[in-house]
Each structure stands twice: as structure tokens, then as C-alpha cells.
Structure 1
Amino acid sequence: MYDDLTYETDRGIATITIDRPGVKNAFRETTLEELNDAIRHVTDDDGVYSLVLTGAGDAFCAGADVTEMPDMSEQTKADYAGYLWKAQNVVRQLRSTPTPVVGAVSGPAIGAGCDFALGCDVRFVDDSTILRQGFVKVGLVPGDGGAWLLPRLIGEAKAKEYLLTGRDITADDAVDLGLAVAVADDALDAATAFAEELRDLPARAVQHTKALTDPSLSFEDYCERAIDYQWKCVNDSEHDEAVAAFGERREPDYDREYS
């Protein structure tokens, strides 16, 4: 289906794997196009209830593949904007898809690769994980979302420490800062187990709860949106089944077809 990714589904869980291990999953333009397409596919698939994003081999994503970068001498600003938009839109889609996204971040997640990890709703790491916003070290700015995401995830001062210096965030740092849930022996196994837990909850409630965590909402916008979402949940059949199962001390049995 894709050249630079693998896309698999198993009982309602989709797994997207950036699959260029020979270059530590560094992306080229084709990779960005395929990531955007794959995430759209997840959003449009009613049989997918959670998504795991990971990388093949010993890396998550080492950023842009410099051997495949467009020739800047032949680019206009509009050309470059179109290229950068594709990377930004990966992050945009990870955040905006109703489907909860769990990152399995093993090895380096550098530059835009770090931003792809930060765009996930929840992250699991292992001892080899390195998150790095290294743009300043090569004379660039975090153009793919990192300087917007990181302050909202760990606070302005700590974010600036990493953004302005390009210092590494280790696995233990990531947990201490709240960027990762846990340092796991196997990040993919841990992420998949968490994705299974999310899959087995009432889907509408999970999706709307994700939307309510949008940090750009004012409190009043949040309250208005919460009323709308809660009304939809109250009238959802999975809410009814969850309440009935709780009262009867059994596991809920939702009427679903899984991809």
C-alpha cells in the first residue's frame, strides 16, 4: 500500500510504522505524503478505535533525510512552504483526528520526527529513546510544530531550555517532564497494550474527551463544547451498555465491527 510506511489493522487498532530503517526512518517527501494519507485513512475508518505510531528498527524518526531534501537553490518560498506544510500537516492530523494516537518512541526522534512524537496523544519510550528539537544547531527554527507543542506540554521555561539549545531529552527526562507515560522494556508492546485499553472504552466518550483537551480552547468554549459532547454521549448506545455492564458487574459488550 505504501513505499515508506507499513499500515496494519488488528481488531480495531491501526499501526502506522515509518519504515526506512536504513536511514533511521528519516523522512523524504514521499514519507510525508504517505503519513498524511495513512492518518486520513485512520480517521475515515469507522472500524479503527485507536492508532499506534512507531518506527521500524532502532529509531522512531531521525528527522528529514538530507540526501532527499529539495534543492533550495531551485525553490521559491511558495515551493518550500508547500513542502513544509506536508510535515506540519502530519502533526496537525495527529492532533485533530478523533482517533486516540499512542506513540511508541524507540531510539531517536529528531527534529520533525520529534514533532511527530509530540503530536501523539500519549507516548511510551524505552531506554534508547532520545527526543531532540535540534533545529537551532543547524541554523533553523522548529517549523513543524515543536515550538507550539512543547511549551504546552512541559511549560514555557523548560520548553525554551530544549528549544533554544537543541539539548537531548532522554527517556527518563521524558517521563519526569510528563512527555511520556513510562519507560518500557518494549515501547511498541506498551503502546499497543494502551491502545487496546482505549479501544475497549466507549468510543464516542474517548474521542470527545480527546477533543476537549485542546489547549487552544478558552474555558467558555470548553464548557459549550462539553455540553454538546456530553449530550451526544448520554444518547449513545455504548454509554447505555457501559452503565448496564457496570451495574451487572460484567464486561461491556459493544456492537462493533473492527477493521
Structure 2
Amino acid sequence: MYDDVRYDTDGGIATITIDRPEVKNAFRRQTILELNAALRDAREDEGVYVVVLTGADDGFCAGADVSTMPDWSGEMTYEDYAGYLWGVQNVVRQLRGMSKPSIAGVGGPAVGAGCDFALACDLRVVGPNALLREGFVKVGLVPGDGGAWLLPRLVGEAKAREYLLTGRDITPEDCVDLGLAVEEREDPLAGAVALAEEILALPALAVRRTNDLVDPEQSFEEYCERAIDYQWDCVNDEEHSEAIAAFSEKRAPEYDRDYS
């Protein structure tokens, strides 16, 4: 089913790996189709609780593979280009819209849309050779995949404009200092999986509903209304009951789950 992407599940964690190391995991049309399919699989699989996104050979994604790109203005209509870009945007759309937590393990360049894929994840772990770069302006383009929407919400408008308007690299140290990354690890994939396992050990419905509540576009009153509904869901969840019992009995909780 997959050629450009690896999709693996283990103990409730789905790991999606962009697997084109010969071009620093830059994507082509096929890659985008497969990424969207893998994210749908992870979202719909009831045995998956956390998603890790990474790149092969300690990398991430260097953006679009320019060697496979046509002459946009000469070979495509507006409608053709809009359809192509919608597919790239849909990777970001799916990551942003998924209740299951997503974690990016960034070991190398995350450039252009690759940067946006990392920013769209809920959490990020970076390696010493990682860099995030919204480099669209350097090649005469705009951040068409979500970067100018995502970055200001993560680091603030002024800092986001600095990176968006200059195309400067966001270093691993910057990522941690700005709160973009949870931590810098020598092995960022191992760090992302460890973080996924930490989240996996918690009541799954509470994790997903909490993730859904983090919505900077909603008003406080909208938040409160949603929180009532979500809290009621959690109160009636078996894992909530088990977590309370385990806490009272001073033991580790045991959740009845069927992992993929």
C-alpha cells in the first residue's frame, strides 16, 4: 500500500515515517497521497492511541522534491494547482483535526511544508541536527501549507514574522527556548516514542478530549460549554473509574485496551 511512507503500529502507537532519505525525505505527489492515507488509517484505527510522525535516516522532511515538480505556471491550470496544494494542506488539516495526540520526531531538516507538518503536530521532539525553516520567501512563494497560521499561534506574532519574512532557520536550541519542542534529544524518534508512551499510560478519552479543548479560536464561554460535555463523557468512562481506583489503592492502573 505504501512506497514513500512507512506505517507501523506497536502497542497503541502508530509511527508514520516519510521514507525518501535519498532526497532528505522531500515529498512528491505520491508521498502526499500516502501521508494522507496513513493519517486516515491512524485516526480510524481504534487500536491506535498516539501518532508519531518522523522521517527516515534521522531526518524529517525537506519540503517538496523540486526534481519532480512541473512548471506550475506553464503546465497546470489554477484548478490543477489548487487541487495539488489542497492535498498538501490536508496533511496539516488532518494533524490539526485529530483528537489522538500527534508527536513529531525531528532529526533533520523540516523545511517549507515539511516545517508545517512538524508544526501541525501537537508536540515536537528535536535532535541536534534538526532545523525548522519556513523558507518560502527565499524561493518567491508564500507559506501555502499553514505556516503563517500555525507559527504565530505557537511562538507569537512578532517572532513568527521574523522567521516567516526572513526564512531564517529555527535551531534546536531555539525550538526548546521558544517552546516549539518539548526537548532536544540525541535520538529524537526515541524521545518522541517515549513521550508517546507517557501519554499512552493515561486515560485515553481524557487525553483526546483535553487535546480537543486546546483551541485558540474559541471564546472562553465556548470552552466552558465544551468542557462540561467533555467532562461528562470522562466521568462516565471506564478508564476514569479505573484511574480513580488505582490512585486510591496506590497501584498502577490497568486499562482494558486492544492495541494494534
TM range (shorter): over 0.9
> What is the SS of the residue equivalent to 1:51?
strand
2 CA distance for matches of 1:71 and 1:189? 39
CA deviation after TM superposition for structure 1 residue 204, in Å: 0.4
What's the offset of the Cα at 1:71? 3.1
Aligned residue number for residue 168 of structure 1: 169
Counterparts of residues 140-155 of structure 1 (less than 5 Å): 140-155=141-156
Q: CA deviation at 1:244?
A: 0.3
Cα-to-partner distance string for 1:81-135 (whole Å, 9 max, x where unaligned): 1000111110110011111001100110000000000011000001101100000
1:252 is aligned to 2:241: no
- CA distance in 1: counterparts of 2:246 and 2:51, whole angstroms: 26
Percent of counterpart pairs with the same letter?
68
Alignment of 1:62-77 (within 5 A): 62-72=62-72, 73-77=74-78
Q: What's 2:139 paired with?
A: 138
* Residue-pair matches, total: 259
> Residue in 1 aligned with 2:52?
52
SS at match of 2:240: helix
Structure 2 unaligned regions, length at least 5: none
Asked if 1 retains the 8 angstrom alpha-carbon contact of 2:242 and 2:254, the reply is yes
Q: What is residue 16 of structure 2 aligned with on the other side?
A: 16
Q: Which residue of 2 aligns with 1:127?
A: 128
TM-score of the two chains, using structure 1 as the length reference:
0.99
Instruction: Tell me by how many angstroms 1:58 deviates.
Output: 3.8
Residues 58 and 106 of structure 2 are in contact (CA less than 8 Å); yes or no, is this contact kept in structure 1? no
Matches of 2:70 and 2:93, distance apart in 1: 22
Match of 2:105 in 1: 104
Runs of 4+ that moved beyond 3 A:
none
1:5 Cα offset (Å): 0.5
Normalised TM-score (structure 2):
0.98
Partner-residue secondary structure (3-state), 2:62: coil
Tell me the secondary structure at the aligned position of residue 114 of structure 1.
helix
